[in-house]
Amino acid sequence: MEKIRVLVVDDSAFMRKVVSDILNSDEEIEVVGTAKDGVEAVELTQKLKPDVITMDVEMPRMNGIEAVRKIMEIQPTPVLMLSALTKRGSKETLEALEAGAVDFIPKPSGTISLDIREIGDELIKKVKAVAKARVRRRVSIKPSEESKKKEETPKKEKKVTSGLELDIPPEKLSKMAVMIGSSTGGPPVVTEIVSKLPKNMPPVFIVQHMPGGFTKMFAERLNAESLLTVKEAEDGEIVRPGYAYVAPGGYHMLLKKRGNNVHIVLDSKMPKVHGTKPSVEVTAEYVARIYGGKTVAVMLTGIGRDGAEAYKLIKEKGGKIIAQDKDSCVVFGMPKAVIELGIADAILPPSKIPEAIVKFIKSIYKG
């Protein structure tokens, strides 16, 4: 069997050595080169054509985000970011994912993690998963152009097409729900979908596989792009229409009905489900119980089958299911599991999903 060929990129010689040792300890992986900055990373990617690149974020000459942009432009390759668990680190990681990186893994203790071996097993597992990802060539927009474009777009005039409107009373919307499940390759796709939804929406529950410390920043970035109010879910809060709730990393997002209100319950003690916490399966099961057939559930790119059985429950209760299509997925695991169960009402690329969500909500309202 051919080994997975990896290029390790980090400005710290210690980190390059330890990450290489960890990866080379697995018989299915071979480190074929190392680079100390983004410039070297781009050169070696063209020369060595690795299967996977592990990429540090903060480096001299050219940082990790710029390197990802350049690589996706000239030699598209699956990139796994190694990120610091800080506010700045999480912001940069999400920017790298938007630039085309497939996934990320947090360093246990900052830029130079002397205890990096603690995450050795996870690193090996992620490299093997990322190696299967489908990446596409991208023409990069210069960061200055991108920020200028964003500054010129006032929040209230954003991207929501006139066709995507919901004229449904809030008391009816509060009895419906939208569920979005996503994993590897998901953050840019979730952003694309949520940014196009109208303001007048049922509550939206988002479970994106992501560790603690990153989901808050993800929610803030979504909120800046969306007409909905997007926030990281808080324990005990009342669920409202016009809001989207992102499950926090390290917690399962549960729902509890009290009288006419639905409350969010966050549970950190429950074990991982399908190897992850938050899990789509857990939240979707509560959505099925409370909202039943008045649910539109969307399954996006990701490894494995987290959420498939709970989506089946939603379908059995009369809800509508949308799966992302294979061609647009970075990893076609989670949508494939839903499609194979025969429960998908629509199989679509991300650009068509917002319209389908709105269409299904209208059909649920009309009964």
Task: Give the bridge partners for 107, in sequence order.
Answer: 84
Helix (H) or strand (E) holding 81: strand 79-84
d(CA 67, CA 50): 15
CB neighbour class for 298 (10 Å; exposed up to 12, middle 13-18, buried from 19) = buried
Cα–Cα nearest to 251, from 213, 300, 288: 213
| Cα radius of gyration (the chain) | 20
115 is catalytic: no
> Which listed residue (37, 51, 103, 306) is catalytic?
306
Place of tokens 């781009």: 42
Q: Quote the CA–CA distance of 91 and 88 in Å, as a whole number.
A: 5
Question: What are the residues whose beta carbons fall under 8 Å from the beta carbon of 122, sequence distance 6 or more?
Answer: 105
Q: Decide if 209 is catalytic.
A: yes
C-alpha 144/C-alpha 321 separation (Å) is 39
Using CA atoms, how far apart are residues 106 and 98, in angstroms rounded to an integer? 17
User: How long, in residues, is the chain?
Assistant: 367
CA angle 104, 150, 190 (to 5 degrees): 40
The CA-atom distances, in angstroms, between 256 and each of 92, 317, 357 are 35, 18, 24
325 is a catalytic site residue: no
Catalytic pick from 209, 252, 279, 328? 209
Q: What is the C-alpha to C-alpha distance for residues 141 and 122, in angstroms, rounded to an integer?
A: 32
Q: Which one of the listed residues 183, 195, 279, 328 is annotated catalytic?
A: 183
* Catalytic residue numbers, as ranges: 183, 209, 306
